[in-house]
Chains A and B, each alone.
Chain A
Amino acid sequence: MTRERLRGTRRTRSAWGGGRLALVLLLAALLLPAANHLVGDFGLLDPVKAIFLYAILGLGLNVVMGFTGLLHLGIAAFMAIGVYAFAILTADIYPFQLGFWPAMFLTLPIGAAAGFLLGAPTLGLRGDYLAIVTLGFGEITQDVLKNLDTITNGTQGINPVPPPTLPWFEHGDQGWMLTWYEFQKDAPLPWYYLFLALLVIIVVLNRNLEHSRIGRAWMSVREDDLASKAMGIPPVRTKILAFATAAALAAFAGGLWASSLSSSGEPANYDFQVSILALCIVIVGGMGNITGVLIGAIAVSGANDIVLQKLFEWMQQNGWTSTGSVFGSPNNWKFLMFGLALILMMRFKPDGLVPARRRKGGAPADPGPAAESSSHEEAA
């Protein structure tokens, strides 16, 4: 086999195994607003925009859980850090008042620094202990944000938080001029495409990392911690890198979230439930698979923000339920459903809807005794 042929098969089989699916998704996302316009407004733009945000959050979590194989139960804390960092840097009750883009950009190093600070002393811990640390960090972050009201405004949250802006040419008195277009609440289309564009960039960067020395080091830690060390991969450094990357992406998602809400919301918005939602996205889609995470975001966030919402509206219209009834609202059932979905996934499709690195046609030559005799199970 020549090297050229090797590289060819490599890209088609492993890197772009799910790539074609990702391109189909991108095309669908690009065309959705047009369809929305032609067929009739189903109010899909806002919930789909939320899917983009959850996809970014899921991609962050996927770096830690999918690539590196560490159970992370506190990703929402890093999202909250991004939300508050963005709000403090931009809102006019604070002196910094940066624009949308500088503040968004700063959420990345701030999130990464938070990830580093949590990771550096704790990533020597093994599996379950690390999960407990991340869980605790999630709770602590929420409490700190709630009680630090001199800075964070406590439970009231910070608002208003400015919307995104884009450079724009406008025809004025002196001909064409460069101005800044500020996104409006009642014009969802620019929001939709901006979030989509940012998601695409993050997907590409994520994929770059996956198929590099860094991504291989992460996956070697996931596949066999001990063998990875014995091959010269520095374990703690590698895990910290994954942790900081995930935290940076979660914080970035948080910044976008705050901007789209035009408020930080209260700290309790970024609680364990958000972490679990992100966890569901990664597990449902298929751990360690970028396209899988996108599918997972569509399935989980779509079920959450679109299907359940529409169902609820429909039930209300038919008088089958009222806002007062606790059991009548599908929203109150959602975590039961997510829990059930997690259990069913784990039981029947533990690799997720789009299993990581699926090989088409590349059937195992001889699964024979290798599977039983190797000891990857114990190392996992």
Chain B
Amino acid sequence: MSETILEVDAVTMRFGGLVANENVSFAVGRGQIFAVIGPNGAGKTTLFNAITGIYQPTAGRVLFRGQEIVRGLGGGAVLRAVIVGLLTAFGLLVALHISDLWSKSIDDNYEYGEAFPYAAAVRSFFATLGGHFTGWGLVPVALGFVIGAAASFALSMNARRAPDLIARAGIARTFQNIRLFAELDLVENVLVGMDSRLKTGYWHALLRLPRFFHERRVATGKAMELLRFVELDKKAMERAKNLPYGHQRRLEIARALASEPQLLLLDEPAAGMNPAETVDLMRLIRKVRDRGVTVVLIEHHMRVVMGISDRIVVLQYGKKIAEGTPDEIKCDERCIEAYLGKEELG
């Protein structure tokens, strides 16, 4: 096998008493089409959610290109917590004594009709503040620091494996129950997917500086190219919610590809498709792979799975029961019993 791009390492997902994934491990090689199959409720989508950061694994790790995608909790987060803590402490101290500070620094220094001595005002502001920065006055300062720092640190903790971070790192996905931006048109949907590759900031957008026009031209062109790739370019102006079901699934793939991912997770891409659409989809998935994107898919259509997968993992009741090439899985007794069924293999 070539270089490993995704490694699911002993991932366990527990929700209260329910164990959705138990000690699941597998590795996906770069350039593969990798399928995750299993009966309904086997924990396939949960696993996808754990990989993309929507859930945090109860135990185990997800490695992408040999590393966990996490925001560091080192210097940056600590520094931010300290700064937020100090600002909170300062803000709380000022807020508690605002009337006193105002009258001593502003009112006392201001003579109607005369120029305002700003330097003197700043001096008396800090002198007054210093007067409150002793004895019991230190309690709110300490309290403010602790609350601010703790809150900031807690937020950093929560955002460690945030979905947006993982998406930006190069893992894109589609959803089992299609989640398009219904009111936006197709181009806009794809452009949202492209967001992490765009650089126009707030001010460029607000004032329409030259860079905005340049980037819009390039981005719209790329979006149209992606829509052509999934054969939806003729409907570029339609709103996503007006697309037929099969087209919505393809649009989701285009949107996911817009972030230029290295790994694409497809959650039941063929669900609800007719046989002709399914054949198109298989061709599309191969084309995606040929772009250099590794594909992991959850699928129930055995024709799709057996037809395009390089490798298959079978889950049942949250546990991995088999892994191998399509031919190996077809012949695996446990898989046939658990999921495939004898008649379906014909």
Contact = CB atoms under 8 A, between A and B. Distances in A.
A227 B179 contact: yes
A233 interface: yes
Contacts of A6: 187, 220, 224, 236-237
A95 B163 contact: no
B220 A213 contact: no
Contacts of B310: none
A231 B248 contact: no
A143 B208 CA distance: 40
Contact of B184 (A223, A234, A362): A223
Given A209-B206, A234-B164, A365-B244, A224 B107 contact: no
A319 interface: no
B26 interface: no
A375 B195 contact: no
Q: Which secondary structure dominates where chain B touches chain A?
A: helix
Nearest to A210: B205
Contacts of B164: 229-235
Interface residues of A, number: 62
A374 interface: yes
B229 interface: no
Interface string B32-63: 00000000000000000000101000000000
A230 B238 contact: no
B196 A232 contact: yes
A-B CB proximity, top 10 nearest: A212-B205, A95-B116, A232-B167, A223-B181, A364-B242, A232-B196, A227-B179, A229-B163, A95-B110, A150-B99
Interface residues of B, number: 71
A7 B98 CA distance: 54
B162 interface: yes
A214 B205 contact: yes
Interface of B: 52, 54, 98-99, 102-103, 106-107, 109-110, 112, 116, 121, 151, 155, 158-159, 162-164, 167-168, 172-173, 175, 177-185, 187-188, 191-193, 195-196, 198, 200, 202, 205-208, 212, 215, 217, 220-221, 224, 233-239, 241-245, 248, 255-256, 259, 272
A172 to B, nearest CB: 26
Interface stretch (A8-16, A180-188, A258-266): A8-16
A230 B54 contact: yes
A220 interface: yes
B188 A216 contact: yes
Nearest to B202: A214
B238 A365 contact: yes
B220 A3 contact: yes
